[in-house]
Chain A
Amino acid sequence: MWLGFVVLGGALTVALIGLAVMLLRLREAEQRVRDKESEHLGVLDRLQENEYRLRTIIESEPECVKLQAADGTVLEINPAGLRLLDAGRPEDIIGKKIYDVVAQEFKQIYRENMRRVFEGEAVVYEFKSVTLKGRTAWMETHAVPLRDARGAVYALLGITRDITEHKWAEEQGRRHQTELARVARLSTMGEMATGLAHELNQPLSAIANFARGCIRRLRSGDMAPADMIEPLEEVCEQAERAGEIMRHVRDFVRKSEPRMTAVDINQVVRSVVKFTELEARQHETIVTLQLAPQQPRVWADSIMVEQVICNLVRNAMEAMAETHSLRREVMIRTVPHGEDAIEIEVVDTGPGIDGAVIDQVFDQFYTTKPDGVGMGLSISRSIVESHGGSIRAESRAGGATFRFTLQAIPLRLSNDERRYSIHS
C-alpha cells in the first residue's frame, strides 16, 4: 500500500514537477512572445519615427520633391512642389499626369528622360514648365529610380528647382555671345570688303583721272587726237588691272574647293545635332532624326556638308522662332535616293516660304532676317553644287522642306575598295 502511495506520490511529484516546468516554459514563452511583441512594436515605432522624420524632412524641404510612376502619374509631392507648380491642394497634382505642367515643346524630351530613369539611370534634365496658373518657368530636375525589394524600378524620385532666373542670366550671356560672334563675322566680311574696295579704287580712280584729263584738254581745244592714244592706253591698262583684281578674288574663293572623302552622312547629321543643341534649346525646338539604315556613305567634304545642314537647321529654327510657331520641330532625314544618291532633308514646322520668293531664297544677299546677310543659303547651294548635287526648297502647309542630294558610295563596294576610298 505504502509502496503504492510512494509510487503514486512519486508519479505525482514527477507530474507536478513536469507541470511546473511546463508552466515555467509557458511563462518563459509568454515572456518571449511579449518581449518579441514589444521588440516588434519598437521596430514599428522606429519605422514610424523614421518615416515621420523623413516626411518632415521632405515636407520642409525647400525644393520640390516628388514621386512619379512610369506613366507620368504623380504619386507624391511635397508642399514646396505644390508651391512651385502653383497648386493649392495636393490633389491638384497627385494622381494627375506630370505632363500637364510640362511645356508643349518639352513633353517629348521629358518623356525620353523619364524612360531613361525607369531603365535605371540617374538623370538631370532641364525643361520649361507651365504651372497650374499658366506661369512659365524653367525647371531643373535631378531624377533617380526608386527600386522595390526585387530591384525593379517602381517610381521616379525627382528633386526639382526653379532655374528661371539662372536661365535668364544664361540666356543674356548667350545672346551677348551670339551678338559678339555676329559682329565678328560681319567685321571680317567688312574688312575683306574694305580691302577689296581699296584695291579696286586704285585703278578706278586712275581711269577717272585719265579720262577727265582728256575731257578737259578736248574742251579747251589744246589736244590733238594723237595725244589721246597714250592716256587711253593707260585707261585700258587700268581696266585690265581691275579685272585682274577680280580674278584674284575668284581664285581665292576657288581655293576652298571641297576635300572629298567617304563620309558617313548619318554621322555628319549627328554632329550637326550636337552643334545646334544649344540653339535648339534656346529656340525651344525639338530636333528629330530619321536616318537611313546601313550608314550610307557619300563622297563629300564632311565639314562643308556639315555647314550646309547646320545652315538649314539654323534657318528652320530661326524661321519658327520668328513666327512663334506653336510646334517647333526640325526633322533631319537621310533617305537613299536610287542606287547612287542620298537625299538629305531638313523639314520644319515653321511658316513655310512664300511661293513668290521661293526661287530667290538661294540668291546672294536674299534674306528675311532683320540682321541677316543673305549668304547662308547661297553658300549652301554652291557647296552642294560643288559636290555635284542639287538643293531645293519646298513649302507645304505647316512648314518648309529643304532637300539636297549627295553622291552615294554603293554599299556593294568591296572592303578593299571601301578602305581605299575612306583613306583617299
Chain B
Amino acid sequence: MSDATVFIVDDDQAVARSLRWLIETVRLKVETFASAQAFLDGYDAAKPGCLVLDVRMPGMSGLELQERLAARRTHHVPIIFITGHGDVQMAVRAVQAGAFDFVEKPFNDQDLLDRIQRAIAFDTEQRVREVQRAQLRALFDSLTPREREVLDLVAEGLSNKAIANSLGLSAKTVEVHRAKVMEKMHARSLSDLVKMAMQNSA
C-alpha cells in the first residue's frame, strides 16, 4: 500500500507501543522515538509520512520540537499533536504554528487513523509539488541568460518583433532562442511555457 511512515514521538513507551499496534492495523509503517531529541537526531526528512507528537513531554516539549523542525530547511513533515485533557491552549498554539491537526486524549481510534491518513495524503501532495518545483527549477537553470531574457518577455506576452526590438536583436535570432527555450523546458505549447514561467516566479 502506502510507502508512508508514521513517526511517533512519545516519552511514554507503553503509549508509543500501543499507538504502533493500533496504527499498524491500517498497514502503515511506524517508527517510534522516546524523546523529541531522539527524533531530531534520527529522523530522515526524505521519508514520506507524518509525525504523531505528544504535546507534553519532559525535556523538549512537542511545541519546541515543532519549532525546531520549522526552522529546518528540509521538507516539513505534517504534525498531528496528541493533547491531554485541558491542553486546548497548547493545541491552539500548535495549530497556529503550522501543525496539521490535533487529537485530544482520550481519542477515538478511527478518528486518529483518519487524521493520520489525511496528514499522509497532504504530505504526499506536498512532496509531489516539491519534486515538480525542483524539476522546473532545474529546467530554468539550464537556460542561458539570453534565453531567460527572451522567456521573460515571451511570458509578458510580447511578440517576437517586440522582443527583438527590446533586446536589440534580429527577429530571426529571437525566433531561434525561443525554439531553444521551448525545447529545453520541454514545453508542448506556448501556453505551457508561460504557465511554467509563472509557476517558477511564484
Q: Report which A residues bind B (CB closer than 8 A).
A: 194, 197-198, 201-210, 212-213, 216-217, 220, 231, 234, 237-238, 241
Q: Residue A197 contacts which of B18, B24, B85, B109 (CB distance < 8 angstroms)? A: B85
Judge whether B22 and A212 touch: CB under 8 Å.
Answer: yes
Quick one: given A194-B85, A216-B109, are A202 and B21 in contact (CB under 8 Å)? Answer: no
- Which residues of the partner chain A approach B148 to less than 8 Å between Cβ atoms? none
Nearest-neighbour CB distance to chain B for A201, whole angstroms, equals 5
- Which residues of the partner chain A approach B109 to less than 8 Å between Cβ atoms? 208-209, 212, 216
Judge whether A206 and B14 touch: CB under 8 Å.
Answer: yes
Q: Which of B19, B21, B85, B109 has the most CB of A within 10 A?
A: B21
B145 interface residue, CB < 8 Å from A? no
Known contacts A201-B84, A234-B14, A238-B14; 14 further A-B pairs (Cβ under 8 A): A198-B56, A201-B105, A202-B14, A203-B14, A206-B12, A206-B18, A208-B18, A209-B15, A209-B109, A212-B109, A213-B24, A216-B25, A216-B109, A238-B18
Judge whether A204 and B106 touch: CB under 8 Å.
Answer: yes
Quick one: given A198-B56, A198-B85, A234-B14, are A208 and B106 in contact (CB under 8 Å)? Answer: yes
Quick one: given A197-B85, A205-B106, A208-B106, are A234 and B22 in contact (CB under 8 Å)? Answer: no
Judge whether B25 and A202 touch: CB under 8 Å.
Answer: no
- Residue-wise interface mask of B (1-40) relative to A, using a CB-CB cutoff of 8 A (1 in contact, 0 not): 0000000000010110111011011000000000000000
Judge whether B85 and A209 touch: CB under 8 Å.
Answer: no
B86 interface residue, CB < 8 Å from A? yes
Which of chain A's residues has its CB closest to B12's CB? Answer: A202
Nearest-neighbour CB distance to chain B for A313, whole angstroms, equals 35
Which of chain A's residues has its CB closest to B18's CB? Answer: A209
- Which residues of the partner chain B approach A204 to less than 8 Å between Cβ atoms? 106
Interface positions of B from 71 to 121, Cβ below 8 Å from A = 84-86, 105-107, 109
- Which residues of the partner chain A approach B107 to less than 8 Å between Cβ atoms? 205
Quick one: given A201-B106, A202-B14, A234-B14, are A209 and B84 in contact (CB under 8 Å)? Answer: no
- Which residues of the partner chain B approach A210 to less than 8 Å between Cβ atoms? 18, 21-22
- Which residues of the partner chain A approach B56 to less than 8 Å between Cβ atoms? 198
- Which residues of the partner chain B approach A216 to less than 8 Å between Cβ atoms? 22, 25, 109
- Which residues of the partner chain B approach A241 to less than 8 Å between Cβ atoms? 14
Instruction: Sort A-B residue pairs by CB-CB distance and give the 4 closest, nearest first.
Output: A209-B18, A213-B21, A206-B18, A216-B25
Q: Report which B residues bind A (CB closer than 8 A).
A: 12, 14-15, 17-19, 21-22, 24-25, 56, 84-86, 105-107, 109
Judge whether A194 and B22 touch: CB under 8 Å.
Answer: no
Q: Which of B12, B15, B22, B56 has the most CB of A within 10 A?
A: B22
Q: Provide 17 A-B residue pairs closer than 8 Å at the C-beta atoms, listed in order of the A residue.
A: A198-B56, A198-B84, A198-B85, A201-B84, A203-B14, A206-B15, A208-B106, A209-B18, A209-B109, A210-B18, A212-B109, A213-B18, A213-B22, A216-B22, A231-B21, A234-B21, A238-B18
- Which residues of the partner chain B approach A194 to less than 8 Å between Cβ atoms? 85-86
- Which residues of the partner chain A approach B85 to less than 8 Å between Cβ atoms? 194, 197-198, 201
Which of chain B's residues has its CB closest to A203's CB? Answer: B14
Nearest-neighbour CB distance to chain A for B11, whole angstroms, equals 10
Quick one: given A194-B86, A201-B85, A216-B25, are A209 and B12 in contact (CB under 8 Å)? Answer: no
Quick one: given A198-B84, A201-B85, A204-B106, are A217 and B25 in contact (CB under 8 Å)? Answer: yes
Judge whether A213 and B25 touch: CB under 8 Å.
Answer: yes
A216 to B26, CA, bound (A): 9
Judge whether B15 and A202 touch: CB under 8 Å.
Answer: yes
- Which residues of the partner chain A approach B84 to less than 8 Å between Cβ atoms? 197-198, 201
Nearest-neighbour CB distance to chain A for B47, whole angstroms, equals 23
Nearest-neighbour CB distance to chain B for A193, whole angstroms, equals 10
- Which residues of the partner chain B approach A237 to less than 8 Å between Cβ atoms? 14
A220 to B17, CA, bound (A): 21
Nearest-neighbour CB distance to chain A for B156, whole angstroms, equals 57
- Which residues of the partner chain A approach B25 to less than 8 Å between Cβ atoms? 213, 216-217, 220
A161 to B129, CA, bound (A): 84
Judge whether B15 and A205 touch: CB under 8 Å.
Answer: yes
A209 to B109, CA, bound (A): 7
Which of chain A's residues has its CB closest to B14's CB? Answer: A206
A194 to B19, CA, bound (A): 23
Nearest-neighbour CB distance to chain A for B108, whole angstroms, equals 9
A194 to B89, CA, bound (A): 15
Nearest-neighbour CB distance to chain B for A308, whole angstroms, equals 33
A213 to B18, CA, bound (A): 8
